[in-house]
């Protein structure tokens, strides 16, 4: 007796999605409800920034690179600036390095809160989404007071920083950190005790330690699987030498662990921010740097909210770099989705995708359920999200 | 383990294949290997669990001409495979000529490399042998064959427009 021929159903998700950040296209092959294969197609917002860097000088590049990401803009500029400073053989003053860390940790807080909100929304938990984004405004306000901008803070200049914290601002930030700590306590309680929420996260998308290492995943995604990989700890840069952070890991590797790791990282951020504000020494903010950067190659790695951010800069001795290569953390984490998705239900896909905190834009993306016997069934991202929520109701 | 010790352990693993090496920063080791030895090098890194692949960087080394416009060095592509182990970074470097830009794919050893391989294929024009997927990753599907935007010769989109216009005649 021969098996009936089984057709593959491919569910494309994406690429269009105007509401959030970045469009991406995924194709999930399904057998009934279970995903059997997954593929990714990127590049819908490819702007050729690496190429553009080769015709601009180092200062212009710093501002250009900051615009790679609308969430973690500061880490991009920091990675680039640290690399260029290494090539030029100069060191930013200690106060500047501390302020860089301060901005980086504030950015991490706002990024993790943003993610918490998005993840809660995809799970159909809109109250948590509203709460998280309301609290995120606290840190956005701090960033605006600090730098004058909510998104592209432009804290860095080559050789230092251009903003400073005074006594008044420092008191305000400390008070806000206490408030956010209290809120995080509450969110921690929700994500670890709420039954409906746990139903969507516990035991879902489990990534084993071995797989995570093989796939080269980074950031909270890999730390939730128990791999000790955090550039701030493994290879302290900038102010992290003076203000060390503790690495947060979890052993289970499922979606719940990723929630826990990110929330615990928030506590660490509050602690480090308060420590910096306590201990920061008065001093210079900028070291002079020549416009022409000596010939050489440098690798600069920093820990962005989503994981390791990698910069390779090659200088040819002029004012313009020969080559700038950027590898963002989301790129290595896509691989984990393609791996983990297999064997899961289609209804779990929104949460799985959100689990790695990708820079992707995803509210109204087209989903087409193809089948030979039926007419194509077209869903948008909202439809898929509702499908997921209904499935678990 | 200290960074220098980690680096040293990596160097011991790769000892027999090293053509030349340099230490541009104290936590880095750059190793040039021949194209034949490239695959065994990566294999031994993977088998010894020395770190993870960060990414593949492509470099374009344009041809050099003398005063009479005679080619003194032909154009080359260089691929840099960065591996990180805590703070230590080993970069495996291979150079291939424009005329035969072939490198063995490492996807069978490191599955996640596919995304980086697709990137260097379409942006630099590397030819990665036996790579599982050569679909476009970042460039549009309509991008013309043989135009590699990250090569130094590609300076503006004008080039692209001309190529697209020529297509109907072919």
CB contact A42 to B (< 8 Å): yes
Same domain (yes/no): A104, A128: yes
Closest CA to A111 of A152, A67, A70: A70
The contacts of residue B69 (CB under 8 Å, 6+ apart) are none
Model confidence pLDDT, tens digit, residues A285-315: 999 999 999 999 999 999 999 889 999 999 9
The contacts of residue A68 (CB under 8 Å, 6+ apart) are A49, A76, A326, A328
Closest-CA residue of chain A to B46:
A214
Residue B52 placed within a domain: yes
Domain boundary among A283, A314, A331: A331
B93 contacts B78 by C-beta, under 8 angstroms:
yes
**Chain A to chain B, count of Cβ pairs less than 8 Å apart?**
74
Smallest Cα distance from B137 to chain A, Å: 6
ipTM score for this prediction: 0.90
Model confidence pLDDT, tens digit, residues A84-97: 999 999 999 999 99
pLDDT at A21 over 70: no
Percent of chain A with pLDDT over 70: 88
CA atoms of A143 and A138, how far apart (whole Å): 9
B22 versus A43: the higher-pLDDT residue is B22
Same domain (yes/no): A181, A283: yes
Same domain (yes/no): A142, A219: yes
Nearest to B138 among A43, A213, A296 (CB): A43
Chain B CB contacts of A325 under 8 Å are: 55, 57-58
Same domain (yes/no): A305, A386: no
Same domain (yes/no): A192, A324: yes
Least confident of A255-259, A274-278, A329-333: A329-333
Residue A212 placed within a domain: yes
Model confidence at B138, in pLDDT bands (50, 70, 90)? confident
Chain B CB contacts of A214 under 8 Å are: 110-112
Chain A CB contacts of B57 under 8 Å are: 312, 323, 325
CA atoms of A97 and A246, how far apart (whole Å): 19
Q: Determine the structural domain holding residue A234 and report its residue range.
A: 49-331
Residues B55-81 have a mean pLDDT of 88
Does the distance separating the beta carbons of B80 and A43 come in below 8 Å?
Answer: no
CA atoms of A388 and A390, how far apart (whole Å): 6
Torsion angle defined by CA atoms of residues A321, A327, A329 and A330, in that order, rounded to the nearest 10 degrees: 120
Domain total of chain A: 2
Does the distance separating the beta carbons of A334 and B115 come in below 8 Å?
Answer: yes
Does the distance separating the beta carbons of B87 and A43 come in below 8 Å?
Answer: no
Same domain (yes/no): A260, A373: no
Looking up residue B96, the CATH number of its domain turns out to be 3.30.460.80
Torsion angle defined by CA atoms of residues A240, A235, A357 and A265, in that order, rounded to the nearest 10 degrees: -40
Same domain (yes/no): A30, A89: no
Residue A48 has a pLDDT of 82
Interface residues of B toward A, Cβ cutoff 8 Å, are: 3, 24-25, 27-28, 52-55, 57-59, 80, 82, 84, 86-87, 89, 91, 110-112, 115-116, 135-140, 149-150, 154
A353 versus A257: the higher-pLDDT residue is A257
Nearest to B54 among A310, A334, A335 (CB): A310
Model confidence pLDDT, tens digit, residues B84-114: 988 899 999 999 999 999 999 999 998 888 8
Model confidence at A362, in pLDDT bands (50, 70, 90)? very low
pLDDT at A364 over 90: no
Give the DSSP letter string of B40-62.
Answer: HHHHHHHHTT--EEEEEEEEEEP
Residue B31 placed within a domain: yes
């Amino acid at each position: 007796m021969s098996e009936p021929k089984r057709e593959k159903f491919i569910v494309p998700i994406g690429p269009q999605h105007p509401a959030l950040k970045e469009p991406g296209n995924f194709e999930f092959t399904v057998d009934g409800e279970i995903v059997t294969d997954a593929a990714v197609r990127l590049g819908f917002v490819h702007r050729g920034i690496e190429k553009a860097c080769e015709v601009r000088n180092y200062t212009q590049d710093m501002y250009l690179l900051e615009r790679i990401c609308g969430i973690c803009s500061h880490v991009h500029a920091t990675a680039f600036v640290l690399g260029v400073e290494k090539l030029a053989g100069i060191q930013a003053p200690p106060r500047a390095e501390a302020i860089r860390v301060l901005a980086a940790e504030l950015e991490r807080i706002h990024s993790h809160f943003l993610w918490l909100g998005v993840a809660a929304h995809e799970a159909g938990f809109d109250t948590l989404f509203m709460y998280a984004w309301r609290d995120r405004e606290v840190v956005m306000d701090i960033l605006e007071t600090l730098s004058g901008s909510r998104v592209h803070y432009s804290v860095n200049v080559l050789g230092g920083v251009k903003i400073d914290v005074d006594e008044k601002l420092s008191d305000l930030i400390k008070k806000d950190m206490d408030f956010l700590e209290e809120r995080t306590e509450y969110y921690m309680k929700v994500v670890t005790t709420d039954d409906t929420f746990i139903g969507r996260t516990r035991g879902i998308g489990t990534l084993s330690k071995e797989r995570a290492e093989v796939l080269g995943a980074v950031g909270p995604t890999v730390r939730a699987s128990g791999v000790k990989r955090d550039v701030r700890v493994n290879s302290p840069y900038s102010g992290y030498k003076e203000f060390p952070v503790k690495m947060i890991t979890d052993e289970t590797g499922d979606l719940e662990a990723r929630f826990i790791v990110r929330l615990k990282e928030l506590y660490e951020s509050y602690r480090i921010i308060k420590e910096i504000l306590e201990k920061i020494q008065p001093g210079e903010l900028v070291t002079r740097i020549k416009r022409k950067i000596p010939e050489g190659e440098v690798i600069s790695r920093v820990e962005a909210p989503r994981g390791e951010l990698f910069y390779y800069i090659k200088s040819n001795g002029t004012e313009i770099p020969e080559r700038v290569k950027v590898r963002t953390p989301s790129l290595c984490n896509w691989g984990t989705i393609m791996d983990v998705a297999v064997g899961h239900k289609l209804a779990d896909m929104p949460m799985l995708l959100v689990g790695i905190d990708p820079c992707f834009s995803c509210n109204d993306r087209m989903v087409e359920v193809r089948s030979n016997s039926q007419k194509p069934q077209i869903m948008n991202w909202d439809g898929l999200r509702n499908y997921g929520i209904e499935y678990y109701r | 383990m200290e960074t220098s010790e980690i680096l040293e352990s990596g160097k011991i693993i790769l000892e027999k294949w090293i053509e030349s090496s340099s230490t541009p920063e104290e936590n880095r080791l750059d190793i040039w290997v021949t194209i034949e030895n490239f695959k065994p090098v990566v294999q031994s890194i993977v088998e010894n669990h020395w770190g993870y692949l960060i990414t593949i960087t492509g470099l374009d080394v344009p041809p050099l001409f003398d005063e009479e416009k005679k080619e003194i060095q032909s154009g080359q592509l260089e691929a840099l495979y960065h591996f990180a182990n805590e703070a230590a970074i080993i970069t495996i470097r291979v150079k291939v000529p424009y005329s035969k830009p072939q490198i063995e794919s490492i996807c069978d050893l490191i599955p996640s490399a596919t995304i980086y391989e697709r990137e260097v294929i379409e942006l630099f024009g590397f030819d990665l042998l036996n790579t599982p997927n050569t679909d476009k990753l970042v460039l549009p599907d309509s991008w013309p064959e043989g135009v590699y935007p990250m090569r130094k010769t590609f300076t503006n989109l004008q080039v692209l427009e001309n190529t697209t216009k020529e297509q109907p005649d072919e």
